[in-house]
Amino acid sequence: MASTFELKWGILSCGWMATVFTKDLVLDPAASRDVTDVKHTVVAAATSSDAGRAEKFLSDCGVPSGTAKAYGSYEELVNDPNVDIVYVATPHSHHFPHALLALNAGKHVLCEKAFTVNAEQARILIDVAKQKNLFLMEAVWARFFPLSIEVRNLVASGKIGDVKRVHADLSLLNDVETAFSPTHRMVNMDLAGGALLDLGVYALTWVFQILYHLDEDATTPKVLSHVQKYAGTGCDETTTIICQFPRATGIATTSIRVGGDVDGLGTAGPAMRIYGTKGEIQVAHPAWKPLKYRVILPQEAGGAGEWQVRNMPDGGWYWEADATARAIRDGKIECETMPWKETISIMEVMDEVRRQADMTYPAAIESTAH
């Protein structure tokens, strides 16, 4: 039997996302998802200031006692010789300096979405990874789900003909004023808050994972967009983006004010619609964790298919962790499921949306100094 490749993780920051990701890492790959070629070990975690909190984090995540180091600074974490890869889960405002810190210490990096604040920061990180021959990827977990792979394969098979349009939405009904204090990362401009970088990136992911690949020489689409701002902080609240690709159009919509699945029961209909010349694929909300899709053909070709349900009992972040481990095992520094040029292209679209809306983040977090 082929040996199992082990990847040793260091977790940079101990917030919500770091917690759910680390809980997935400690699951047994064979039992949770029938994977035996790779496995994950959490060897260290760090908060920005308090080793005791990192210790508690490790215990809360189910990392076996005494098997991982707890640090009170990110510098100590990236310099731990036992760490192979650093998982960056700070707010997106801080991905650039923190991913850079890890790369400069010679570590592979898996960095949460949105990858950076702007496209130039993304280009710099990718250049550094290339120079140092280190793996680097934006952690867009939704791309790695079996359902996403199935849908991409269905599109490639021609089942719905030539795709001409994709409509993707990720909108979460919130009374923004009471749901988030002005300092909360969802609305705080100092933390690159707003719908666009936090939720819009998933709607764009659906547009891109279908349409960007229709052309071999894919480039960033032309963008027409509209932003409604949140008066409380000036971040974007409800944003609509039309992406014109050479042969198709993508419409990505996002909001932290209105909802795409108001009753939580799917009554509103599918959040993603992929329109082809022979039929349509629909994917149910939410764009970040798609679990249901169906194909609709004209009546004479079979009509509407049943909803295909792909439930996942656990979090589901392990799929991207497994893909990361396989890439590193195979000596790759880029993963084909989330290619660098696509990450840059999505960042370029978001830059353009902000340019059209005259929306900039504070200079400190737009900075590309390195």
Minimum CB–partner distance for residue 173 and ligand NAP (Å): 17
Rounded least distance, CB 289 to ligand NAP, Å: 8
Contacts (Cβ under 8 Å, ≥6 apart) of 83: 8, 9, 10, 43, 44, 77, 107
Element (H, E) at 165: strand 163-171
Q: How far is the CB of 217 from ligand NAP (least distance, A)?
A: 29
Q: Which residue's CB is nearer to ligand NAP, number 14 or number 349?
A: 14
88 versus 154: smaller Cβ distance to ligand NAP: 88
Cis amide linkage into residue 114, ω under 30° from 0: yes
> Cα–Cα distance between 206 and 190 in angstroms, integer?
27
Contact call for residues 282 and 240 (beta carbons, < 8 A):
no
Q: Which CB atom, from 93 or from 249, has the smaller least distance to ligand NAP?
A: 93
The per-residue DSSP string of 231-297 comes to: TTTS-EEEEEEEEE-SS-EEEEEEESSS-SSTTSSSTT--SEEEEESS-EEEEPSPTTS--EEEEE-
Output the residue with the shortest Cβ distance to ligand NAP: 15
Binding site for ligand NAP (CB under 6 A): 13-17, 47-49, 89-92, 94, 112-113, 139, 141, 185, 191, 198, 288
Shortest reach from residue 14's CB to ligand NAP, in Å: 4
**Cβ closest to ligand NAP, residue 1 vs residue 364:** 364
The per-residue DSSP string of 107-140 comes to -EEEEESS--SSHHHHHHHHHHHHHHT--EEEE-
Q: Rounded to the nearest whole angstrom, what is the least distance from the CB of residue 53 to ligand NAP in the complex?
A: 6
Query: Cβ closer to ligand NAP: 160 or 349?
Result: 349
Give the single-character DSSP code of 13: -
Distances, alpha carbon 339 to alpha carbons 108, 116, 137, in Å: 15, 15, 8
Smallest distance, ligand NAP to C-beta of residue 321, A: 12
Nearer Cβ to ligand NAP (47/171)? 47
Q: Which is nearer to ligand NAP, 16 or 307 (CB)?
A: 16
Cβ-Cβ contacts under 8 Å for 318 (sequence gap 6 or more): 24, 25, 27, 29, 32, 33, 35, 40
CB of 16 to ligand NAP, least distance (A): 4
26 DSSP 8-state letter: T
The least CB distance from residue 235 to ligand NAP, in Å, is: 13
DSSP category for residue 45:
E
Q: Which is nearer to ligand NAP, 89 or 195 (CB)?
A: 89
SS3 278: coil
- Give backbone dihedrals phi and psi of 185, rounded to 5 degrees, phi first: -60, -20
